[in-house]
Structure 1
Amino acid sequence: MKRPYTIIISEVTVDGKLTLAKGVSSKEIMKFMDEEANRYLHETRAKVDGIMVGAETIRTDNPYLTVRYVKGKNPTRIIPTSTADIPLDANVLKKDAPTIIITTEKAPEEKIKALSEKVEVVKIGDEKVDLIKMMDFLYNRGIRTLMVEGGSTLNWNLLNLGLVDEIRIIHMPFIVGGTDTPTLVGGEGFKNLDEVIRLKLRAHFMRGSHLITEWEVKYES
């Protein structure tokens, strides 16, 4: 299988949280990012071929996923969703950048038809989106570098399948807490140290008032 070089990038609080609470938009936390941190995020967007978020992020945050703080091209927006549950007024369906919805055979045909009138819709998988086949499809479509901006379930699924090459974190200097507040990586998690994914610190630096860390993902022990 050939796949895009994949980078997870996210703003994360000191205690690892993505939002203020479950169901709350991450834009609330992102309000505290200064201009230099935002430039770093958008510089990365401008360098990749594709940008991916999960359907829950679309429903909660309604992002544009375009390049705004720097000059550069908009990457292709890619949204995996097993049931094609994307609001028809979502910002990612606007014409300012190409968008591909990746869905499944079980998605309602009426929803697929409605989305297809706005963007490209592709079925990859029966009950759930087959992420491995999806990555192969994206590579063959010319998406050779892919940026993933969450959420925590998508991050887990990609990491668990060995589909991530880097993780980049914009550190937010505060603590949120909360037992069910989403963290960088959700899912079922690993139960012992033999299974955990190891990282190697590649770089750390300041952008404005924010610490940025960049990590290489090491799937071997």
Structure 2
Amino acid sequence: MQRPYTIIVSEVTVDGKLTLRRGRSSKEIMQFMDDEANRYLHELRAKVDGIMVGAETIRTDNPFLTVRYVEGKNPTRIVPTSKADIPLDANILEKHAPTIIVTSESAPEEKVKALKEKVEVIISGKDQVDLIEMMDTLYRKGIKTLMVEGGSTLNWNLIKFGLVDEIRLIHMPFIVGGEDTPTLVGGEGFYSLNDVVKTKLRAHFMRGSHLITEWEIKFEG
């Protein structure tokens, strides 16, 4: 299998949260990012071939996923969603940039048909999106570098299958708390130290008033 070089990029609070509460938009936290931090984020967008978020992020945040704070080409927007559950008025379905929706054979036919009238749709997997097959397909479509902006469930699934090469974090200087508040990586988690994904700090620096940390995934063997 070939796959894109994949970088998870996210803003996180001091306690690792992505939002104020489950179901709340991450834009509430991101509004406190200063211009330098926003430029850092959009510089990365301008350098990659594709940018990916989960369907819940589309439903909650309704992002454009375009390059705005710097000059550069918009990456292809990619959303894996097993049931093709994307609002038809979502911003990513507009013509600002190319968009690919990846869904499964179990998605309702009428939803798939409606999305195909707006953007490219790829079927990958039977009951849910086969992420490994998806990544291979994206690579063959020219997506050699991929930036993932969450959410926490998508981050977990990509990490679980060993599909992530780097994690870059923009640290937000406040604490949110909350047992059910989404963190950088959600899902069921690993239960053993033998299974956890190890990382290596490659760089840390300030952009404006924000600490940026860049981590490499240490693949075993």
How many residues are paired up?
Answer: 221
Q: 2: distance between equivalents of 1:171 and 1:183?
A: 13
Residue number in structure 2 paired with 1:64: 64
> What is residue 181 of structure 2 aligned with on the other side?
181
Instruction: Please list every run of 5 or more consecutive structure 1 residues that lacks an aligned counterpart in the other structure.
Output: none
Distance apart, 1:176 and its partner CA: 0.0
- Residue aligned with 1:42, SS: helix
Question: Corresponding residue for 1:217?
Answer: 217
Q: State the secondary structure of the residue aligned to 1:211.
A: strand
Q: Which residue of 2 aligns with 1:92?
A: 92
Report how far residue 192 of structure 1 moved: 1.4
Q: Distance in 2 between matches of 1:23 and 1:175?
A: 18
2:9, 2:218 → 1: CA distance? 16
What are the Cα deviations for residues 36-72 of structure 1, in whole angstroms up to 9, with x where unaligned? 0000000000000000000000000000000000000
Deviations 1:15-50 (A, max 9, x none): 000000000000000010000000000000000000
Q: Distance in 1 between matches of 2:144 and 2:110?
A: 32
Aligned to 1:116: 116
Name the structure 2 match of 1:171.
Answer: 171
Amino acid at match of 2:84: A
> Which whole-Å CA distance do the structure 1 matches of 2:183 and 2:164 have between them?
17
Q: 1:122 deviation in Å?
A: 1.0
In structure 2, the residue matched to 1:47 is 47
| TM-score between the two structures when normalised by the length of structure 2 | 0.99
Instruction: Please give the root-mean-square deviation of Cα atoms over the aligned residues, in Å.
Output: 0.7
Distance 1:15 1:64 in 2: 27
Whole-angstrom distance in 1 between the partners of 2:163 and 2:108: 28
Q: Distance in 2 between matches of 1:159 and 1:56?
A: 18
Aligned mates of 1:220, 1:186 — CA distance in 2 = 22
User: Matches of 2:99 and 2:192 in 1, distance apart?
Assistant: 38
Could you list the runs of 4 or more consecutive aligned residues of structure 1 that deviate by over 6 angstroms after TM superposition? none
Q: Secondary structure at the match of 1:168?
A: strand
1:15 matched to 2:15: yes
The superposition leaves residues 116-166 of structure 1 with CA deviations (integer Å, 9 ceiling, x where unpaired) of 110001100000100000000000000000000000000000000000000
Map residues 69-80 of structure 1 onto 2, 5 A cutoff: 69-80=69-80
* Residues 167-200 of structure 1: CA deviation (Å, up to 9, x unaligned): 0000000000000000000000011111110000
Structure 2 unmatched runs, 5+ = none
Q: Is the aligned partner of 1:133 residue 2:133?
A: yes
State the TM-score, normalized to the length of structure 1: 0.99
Aligned to 1:2: 2
| Overall identity of the aligned pairs, in % | 79
CA distance in 2, matches of 1:174, 1:219: 32
Equivalent in the alignment of 1:26: 26
* Deviation of the 1:219 alpha carbon: 2.7
User: Quick one: distance in 2 between partners of 1:14 and 1:197?
Assistant: 21
